[in-house]
Structure 1
Amino acid sequence: MPLRSLADQPYAHLLQPHPGPPRQDGRYDTAHFEGLVLEGAQASGALFLECAFTDVALTEVRLRQARFTEAWLERCRLVACELVESEWQDVTAQGGLFAGVSAYGAQLRRLTVRQCKLESVNLRGAVLRDVVFEDCQLRDVDFGGAKLTGVTFPGSSLEQVRFGGATLAKTDLRGARRLELPDGHEGLRGALISSAQLIELAPQFAQALGVQVRD
Structure 2
Amino acid sequence: MTAPDELADLPYADQLRPFSGPLTVEGDYDTVHMDRLSFEGGERAAGSRFLESAVTDCVFAGTNLRRARLNDLWASGTRFTGCTLAESSWLDTTLTGCSLAGVEAFDAVLRRVVFRHCKLDSVNLRAAALHEVVFEDCVLRDVDFGQAKLDGVTFPGSRLERARFGRATLKKADLRGALAIDLADGHESLRGALITSVQLLELAPALAQTLGIIVKDRQETHQ
Task: Please say whether Structure 1 and Structure 2 have the same fold, judged by a TM-score greater than 0.5.
Answer: yes
Name the structure 1 match of 2:158. 156
* Aligned AA (2:155): F
Unpaired runs of at least 5, structure 2: 218-223
Correspondence for 2:20: 19
- Output the aligned Cα RMSD: 0.7
- SS of the residue corresponding to residue 183 of structure 2 reads coil
Query: Which residue pairs with 2:34 in the alignment?
Result: 33
Q: Which residue of 2 aligns with 1:124?
A: 126
Partner of residue 70, structure 2:
68
After TM superposition, the structure 1 stretch with the greater mean CA deviation from structure 2, 34-43 or 128-137, is: 34-43
1:108 to 101, 107, 110: 110
Give the letter aligned to residue 212 of structure 1. I
**d(CA) in 2 for partners of 1:19 and 1:139?**
32
What is the TM-score normalised by the length of structure 2?
0.95
Offset, 1:21: 2.5
| SS of structure 2 residue aligned to 1:205 | helix
SS of corresponding position for 2:34: strand
Aligned to 1:42: 44
Give 2:142's match in structure 1, choosing from 140, 143, 147: 140
* 1:5 Cα deviation after fit: 1.1
Q: 1:2: Cα distance to partner? A: 3.3
Match of 1:212 in 2: 214
The answer as to whether partners of 1:21 and 1:36 remain within 8 angstroms in 2 is no
Equivalent AA in structure 1 for residue 196 of structure 2:
S
Look at both structures and tell me which one has the larger radius of gyration over its CA atoms: 2
Between the two proteins, the alignment pairs up a number of residues equal to 215
Equivalent residue letter for 1:17: P
How many Å separate the matches in 2 of 1:2 and 1:66? 21
Q: Deviations over 1:155-193 (max 9, x none)?
A: 000000011111111110000000001211111110000
Amino acid at match of 1:91: T
Q: Provide the TM-score with structure 1 as the length reference.
A: 0.99
Structure 1: gaps of 5 or more residues: none
Structure 1 counterpart SS, 2:75: strand
- Given candidates 79, 82, 90, the residue that maps to 2:81 is 79
1:158–1:180: 8 Å Cα contact kept in structure 2?
yes
Q: Secondary structure at the match of 1:200?
A: helix
The offset of 1:130, in angstroms, is: 0.5
Query: How many Å separate the matches in 2 of 1:210 and 1:161?
Result: 21
Report SS of the residue matched to 2:114: strand
The letter of the residue matching 1:185 is H
1:128-152 deviation line (CA, Å, top 9, x unaligned): 0000000000000000000111100
